[in-house]
Amino acid sequence: MENNRIIDLCWHDDETKALLNKCAEEAGFAIEYGRLKGRTEQDLIDSVKGYMAVIAGDVERFTRPVLEAIKDDMRAVMRFGVGYDKIDTVAAREFGIDVIVAGGGNSTAVADIAVMYMLALGRQICNFDKEVRAGVWKRRRSPQLFGKTVGIIGFGRIGRIVASYLSGFKCKILVYDKYLTKNVFARYGVQESTMDEIARTCDYITLHTPLTPETRGMIDKEFLSKMKPTAYLINTSRGPVVNQADLFEALSNDVIAGAGVDVFDEEPIARDNPLLTLDNIVLSPHVAYNTNEANALSSEILIDNLSKALKGEYCEDIVNP
């Protein structure tokens, strides 16, 4: 292989780097680890030019000018997870660059946190913890997850695993995904639904949709106003899927009972973000995907996908075939 160099721009720890190195070496690749020195397009070009592939992080924007500048050597722009909204997939295809994700690598990890949020929010675990530490011993009643109605918006790998978890809680599951056929819903024992019905009837609503022009801001003031005042919203997909200002207003005015949020418009979240002032929201720093098991599996999947792409073999995780 004439050029087998991969540059990794992610904030991977030493354990994950070791996993990636092992997988890469077995496949005949050599991984180098780098950091962007700035946020301009030229900074990104300078960081990745000359490499055969790049593992992109959450902040790098592979725009048309960037892709055109690196097209001579670059064969693939990869994501360690599944989000690729910061990559111009159309331009990448024009320049012969595959956009590759690690499909399925972190699906169970994200599903874990989605269900964890449902339990933590309903049972008020975070608030109870704060109160006990502060010397407050107040026994409030709280709703259980068992038997509740849950809405899943986006029914790909993660959404389907969430559904399988919730079946153990005997939940009624409503699903909105306009791109699936009816037999898919029947196969997983869920009920096909509309956004409006999910908003009006569900006790918990969890988002598992990619960020696209169609889904950007899809959870807005209108949607939130239809939700039950006892309902909870969980977002582990992408920050801009939810209108953050509208969510703050809904939580501040008890339009909904609470929210669990792992992803934000701006990451890291700004210290003056008004969501940080609320008690009815549980926050985490975009870590839903980040488990020991998910990192190991994602490493294997990503390198295997790159090998398939370079050989011209079919790979379902090439998002711009």
Q: Is 216 a catalytic residue?
A: no
Question: Both tokens of residue 267?
Answer: 């990451």
Find out whether 273 and 20 touch, Cβ atoms under 8 Å. no
* Rounded Cα gap, residues 4 and 21, in angstroms: 13
Torsion of CA 99, 101, 2, 11, to 10 degrees: 110
- Cross-strand bridge partners of residue 77: 54, 99
CA 283, distance to chain mean position in Å, is: 14
- Say whether 10 sits in a helix, a strand or coil: coil
Candidates 194, 196, 193; CA nearest to 224 is 196
Q: Which of 60, 208, 238, 300 is catalytic?
A: 238
Question: Both tokens of residue 154?
Answer: 């986006």
Q: Which of 222, 267, 293, 316 is catalytic?
A: 267
* Rounded Cα gap, residues 140 and 280, in angstroms: 15
- Say whether 290 sits in a helix, a strand or coil: coil
Q: Is 238 a catalytic residue?
A: yes
Q: Is 208 a catalytic residue?
A: no
Listed in sequence order, the DSSP H helices in the chain are 14-27, 41-48, 64-70, 89-94, 107-122, 125-133, 157-167, 182-187, 195-201, 221-226, 244-252, 292-311
Question: Both tokens of residue 236?
Answer: 């582990």
Radius of gyration for the alpha carbons in the chain, expressed in angstroms and rounded: 21
The residues annotated with a catalytic role in the active site are 238, 267, 286
